[in-house]
Every structure is written in C-alpha cells, then in structure tokens.
Amino acid sequence: MTVADTLNAVRTDLSIANRMLANEGIFDAFGHTSMRHPTNPDRYLLSRSRAPQLVEPGDILEFDLDSNPIDKNHPPLYSERVIHGEIYKARPDVMAVCHHHAPAFMPLVVCGIDFVPVFHLGAVGGVKPPFWDQRKEFGDCNYLVVTPEEGASLAARLGSHNMVLMNRHGVTVVGTSIQACVFRSIYSARNAEYQIAAAGAGTIDPLSPGDAKISGDISTSTTGLHRAWEVWLRRLSNAGGMPPKTSVARAAAKSTAKTGSRKSKAKFRSAKKRGR
C-alpha cells in the first residue's frame, strides 16, 4: 500500500469516526476528533470546520504540531485545533484525540463532580480524571481553547491520564488508536449518564481502583473494541450516515492536481530562466 493509499484509508476512518460519534450522541453540531499522521508523527489529521455528522474524507486536512495547516490554501478551520496539536506534542503515545460536549457529562463539568466508574465498561475513563479550569488560569473567557498557551495548559492537566474534564465546557479524550478513542468517548459518556442517574437513586458504590484497572483493559484484551466498532458502524450505515466514497477520489484528485500544477509552474520558471 502506498502512502497515498494509507492516507486515503485514514481519512475514511477519521470521517467515519466523526459521523459515528455524532450518531451515538457524543457530538452535535460541535466537537471534533483527530488522528496522528500514520507516517509522520509530527503531523496530525483533522477535518476542516464542519459539523461532525457531515465530515467526509475530502474534508480531512494535515496540520503540523503547532496546528498550522500544511495546505496554505485551506478552507475555514476549527478554532480549537490547538487542543489536538498540543496533546500530540506532549503525549507521543497518543494516536487519536476527541473533544466533545456530550450531554451526559455536562452535569459533572458544570458542578465539578468527579467522574468515577460505576460499571465495568465505564472504567475506560479512569478513576477521578483531572479537571481543567480555563477561567481560573486565564481569567474570564468564552471557553474556546484557541491559543497555544491554552492548549498546552490543557495538555499538561491531562498529563498521563486518558481523559480530562473541562470545567463548564466539556471533555477531551485520547487513545492509542481512533477505535480506542471512540470506544473511550462513548463508554465514558455512558458511565457519566449512569453515574448521575445512580446518584439520584441512592449512594453510589463505584469500582475500586483495582476493579477499574482490570476492567479498563476490556477494550484492548478482548474482542470488545472490535465488537463495539462493528455495531456502531452498522448503526451508522443503517441510519444512512456513511461518508460518500467519492470524497476520497476528489481529495486524491485535488492533491494530484496541486502536485501537477506545482511541477508545471516549476518547469515554466526553469524555461523562462533559460530564455525560452
């Protein structure tokens, strides 16, 4: 498989992940997920500014770790892309990042309630992952993470954890693959939903740290990750939400056209210098 083929496959997977997270109620018009570049760890892939449910492979752009687009003739971009770039800088082990405002999490991040795993699949979120308070560090704000300093602060607060809660804002999740990141995003949100419901019903008896450690390995030590991805993919397909395949072809054609244009211009300049 060529590098171009690999990138086309990754763009397809990433567009499916965006649509899948929307179909499962993690994203609405807002939120975004990214992947580290498959062959260049100093770059990452993220959609242009678009509602996740509509993202196509042709929307996926390349960025350096300072979150600058590689293609200078780019469409409008997500203002919060520094979340992704700064985490990839700080965490070489991270291969995918998801930032969302899932409704299940909002009571926790509004009230400052610790996330605790209350069932085995919810353990992928960890035990009491850290909170990041943007206003406390940067003063009154609109809660968009748009400067490198804000992105770096969020990444530092994430630390070695797999999830960070953002006061009055949302959640950022990481994974060692796009599948693992989607799994963690969905099942941590399910856990948050159950946690709030259980707190209203009685006293929560959460998983112990030992329970959580063992249960957290379910997605990587069993077929659970692949089983979940398969059913989410089927639900997305049944909902008519799969990205168009022609988008990959358009992206490839656009890339080829740009390469050809650059070569033509270079040839013209060279001929001009020779007086032709």
Q: Residues 6 or more apart from 65 whose CB is under 8 A from it? A: 42, 43, 44, 85, 86, 88, 89
Q: pTM score, two decimals?
A: 0.88
Whole-number pLDDT of residue 4 = 87
Cβ(186)–Cβ(21) below 8 Å = yes
- Residue 170's DSSP bridge partners are 166
Whole-number pLDDT of residue 261 = 46
Q: How far apart are CA 12 and CA 98, in angstroms?
A: 16
Residue-level pLDDT, tens digit, the chain, 276 residues: 788 899 999 999 999 999 999 999 999 999 999 999 999 999 999 999 999 999 999 999 999 999 999 999 999 999 999 999 999 999 999 999 999 999 999 999 999 999 999 999 999 999 999 999 999 999 999 999 999 999 999 999 999 999 999 999 999 999 999 999 999 999 999 999 999 999 999 999 999 999 999 999 888 888 999 999 999 999 999 999 999 986 554 554 454 445 444 444 444 344 444 443
- Residue 232's DSSP bridge partners are none
Whole-number pLDDT of residue 250 = 52
Question: Structure tokens of 101?
Answer: 């405002």
Whole-number pLDDT of residue 276 = 36
* Topology of the domain comprising 3-244: L-fuculose-1-phosphate Aldolase (3.40.225)
What order of strands is seen across the sheet that includes strand 163-166?
60-64, 43-47, 32-36, 96-100, 170-175, 163-166, 131-132
- Helices 3-23 & 246-273 angle (0-180, nearest 10): 140
**What residue type is 228 in one-letter code?**
A
Whole-number pLDDT of residue 1 = 73
Checking DSSP bridges between strand 60-64 and strand 163-166, what pairing results, if any? Answer: unpaired
Radius of gyration (C-alpha) of the chain in whole angstroms: 20
Whole-number pLDDT of residue 8 = 95
Question: What residues are labeled active site?
Answer: 80
